[in-house]
Amino acid sequence: MEVMDNKKKIISFIVAVFLLVVVFFLGAVFGYSQRPAMEKISYIINKEPNVPKENIDFSPFWSAWSTIESNYVSASSTNKQDMVWGAIRGLVGSLGDPYSTFFPPEENKQFKEEMSGNFGGVGMEISVKKGVLTVVSPLKDTPAERAGIKAGDVILKINDKTTDGLSADEAARLIRGEPGTKVKLVILHPNETNTKELEITRDIIKIPVLDTERKPDGIFVIKLYNFSENSSSEFRNALRQFLESGDDKLILDLRNNPGGYLESAVDIASWFLPVGKIVARERFSSGEETLFRSKGYNIFTPTGKLPFAILVNEGSASASEILAGALKEHGVAKLVGKKTFGKGSVQELFPITSDTSLKLTIAKWLTPEGISISDHGLEPDYKVEITEKDIEEKKDPQMDKAIEIVKNWNK
């Protein structure tokens, strides 16, 4: 009898252990199935974000990733690393900043090659403005200018590819190519309803720095096309011509000048401003500012006595706006033409991995009085339009107004 009792105890113990194991197993399975979506994706490395701990919920991202993995019809053939690059693109795109761009490996390689060598193009500065790909300005004597492209044109297609959602850098890579090859663009001129399709032959783009012209009544005109590394020295030579000519009135034409080096803008402004005067403010996300000041060449003293007008339009951007804004606010020159483009931001290239990079806006340019160029552009002192009829009749009412202003400077 005692033996039977012992057997029953042993059997009961074994059953109890078995049930305990089953319960533990089922609990483990249930818990495993309910773990966060991020933990379900076991093959991903470096999942933990190396960022400050804030109230940011990453679970929707991992849930979406896990859902794609489990349900997307072509999940097995999807490149998972491309999904990561796409996620970073979306992250940058959420900033709503047309000048911030992520470069995955192939695009990063192309970007660096373009920055270090010659390439074929059509010769125009482009940007994304209010969500659409827009021409900042065509460059002088380039295929774009000869094809009739104008500042403010909207580019709708590039070689039958819609530009909707494209960044300016992505669009530029589609437009560029081997010299002698052709690119098709569908564009829409401002204030027109019908689109135009243009087929433009690419070429090596060589951009002139400036031209000078003497007009009657002692008026000297400097047409500055860009702010390149040679612009400062070329502008100095132009001023020498102005002084030696005996002319006493100056017009600086910055229309369709897309900008360039800040240093060139500061150097050129220094010919008209006393030492230490603010030319531009660089404001960072922290609110801190770096001030760029005149070097004080200031050969036209006292400031503001030189009859001086600056021509601007919707194609005047970046360094053009910095220079024009500084000389306007310091009372040196009057602005004539149309409101400027409004591109006043600073980008820096950050390496993300060994073969990818992020071009990110890190600061904004402000005028000496603290006006954001990106947010507002520059309003001219004298607003003057150029109509299609003016172009057909080869008239330039903006230049005519500038001439009138400098001729009547002290009246």
**Counting every residue, how long is the chain?**
411
Q: Which of 341, 276, 281, 331 is nearest to 303 (CA)?
A: 331
Q: Are 204 and 219 in contact (CB under 8 A)?
A: no
The Cβ-side half-sphere exposure at 371, using a 13 Å CA radius, reads 17
Q: How many CA atoms lie within 13 A of 121 on its CB side?
A: 21
Give the type of residue at 223. K
- Residue 130 annotated to the active site: no
Phi and psi of 164, rounded to 5°? Answer: -60, 120
CB burial readout 102-128, b (16+ within 10 A) else e: bbbeebbeebeeeeeeebbbbbbbbbb
Active site residue 339: no
Cβ atoms 303, 332 nearer than 8 A:
yes
- Which residue out of 294, 318, 357, 374 is catalytically annotated? 318
Known catalytic residue at 343: yes
Provide the Cα torsion 398, 403, 409, 411; round to 10°: -100
How many DSSP H helices and E strands does the chain contain?
13, 19
Judged by DSSP in three states, 239 sits in: helix
Of the candidates 145, 157, 329, 407, the residue annotated as catalytic is: 329
**CA–CA gap between residue 114 and residue 135 (Å, rounded):** 20
Residues with Cβ within 8 Å of 319's Cβ and at least 6 positions away in sequence, in order, are: 227, 257, 259, 260, 261, 262, 264, 265
Options 343, 359, 364, 401, the catalytic residue: 343
The alpha carbon of 332 is separated from its chain's Cα centroid by a whole number of angstroms, namely 29
Task: Give the residue numbers annotated as catalytic, written as ranges.
Answer: 318, 329, 343
